[in-house]
């Protein structure tokens, strides 16, 4: 039996700013599994997340990242995202001038285009968005605001969970999900 929906990281080495951060990481995650990676500050947890997602500024110097049977090691981050890899950042960035609704609709439609599916029109997207905001208890006024601009730590994290719910990735990497959250936001 061949399982192709898994993530397999083999002997991964990577550096950031000429400093080697990952030194031979091996990891295998099968469908339906949840893994928590723990360690002291500076041990490479965030680096591993960023490297798997393909974030710029991280250089893979050895090893491979195989996802769903394909080598993702040299694949652009937007292709990795279209293939189902989602990264929620430890500190989500602000995107002034881009409304959450616009960002989410464009991101979802980019994934649809990549897979040769019809894009969602405005009404179809609004239906999906309202369904997910209601499910997650996210106020709709948050969607009219620019992405993460002026958001509290809890709002930023809820916004990323909304992104994840709408984009429906097959692999979600959550980098320090509790960073900047109060206890009520953690429960949500």
Residue-wise pLDDT tens digits, 51-100: 999 999 999 999 999 999 999 999 999 999 999 999 998 888 899 999 99
Predicted confidence (pLDDT) per residue in 47-56, tens digit: 999 999 999 9
The pLDDT value recorded for residue 79 is 95
Q: Is the pLDDT of residue 181 over 80?
A: no
Residue for token pair 């990549």? 114
Q: Residues 14-26: what's their mean pLDDT?
A: 91
CA distances from 8 to 3, 28, 47 (A): 11, 4, 16
Q: Is the pTM of this model over 0.85?
A: yes
Residue with more model confidence, 179 or 63: 63
Q: Is the pLDDT of residue 188 over 70?
A: no
The pLDDT value recorded for residue 99 is 94
The residue ranges of DSSP E strands in 53-122, in sequence order, are: 58-67, 70-71, 85-88, 95-99
Which pLDDT band, with edges at 50, 70 and 90, does 24 fall under? very high
Predicted confidence (pLDDT) per residue in 103-150, tens digit: 999 999 999 999 999 999 999 999 999 999 999 888 888 888 999 999
Which pLDDT band, with edges at 50, 70 and 90, does 2 fall under? very low
Who contacts 145 (Cβ-Cβ below 8 Å, separation ≥6)?
99, 100, 151
């Amino acid at each position: 039996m061949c399982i192709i929906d898994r993530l397999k990281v083999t002997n991964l080495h990577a550096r950031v700013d000429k400093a080697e951060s990952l030194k031979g990481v091996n990891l295998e995650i099968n469908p339906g599994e949840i893994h928590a990676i723990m360690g002291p500050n500076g041990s490479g947890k965030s680096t591993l997340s960023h490297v798997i997602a393909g974030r710029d500024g991280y250089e893979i110097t050895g090893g491979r990242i195989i996802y769903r049977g394909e080598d993702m090691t040299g694949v652009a981050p937007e292709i990795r995202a279209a293939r189902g890899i989602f990264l929620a950042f430890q500190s989500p960035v602000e995107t002034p001038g881009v409304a959450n609704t616009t960002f989410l609709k464009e991101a979802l439609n980019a994934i649809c285009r990549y897979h040769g599916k019809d894009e969602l029109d405005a009404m179809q997207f609004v239906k999906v968005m309202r369904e997910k905001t209601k499910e997650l208890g996210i106020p709709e006024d948050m969607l009219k605001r620019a992405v993460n601009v002026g958001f509290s730590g809890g709002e930023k994290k809820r916004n990323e969970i909304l992104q994840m719910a709408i984009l429906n990735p097959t692999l979600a990497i959550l980098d320090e999900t509790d960073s900047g959250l109060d206890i009520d936001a953690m429960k949500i």
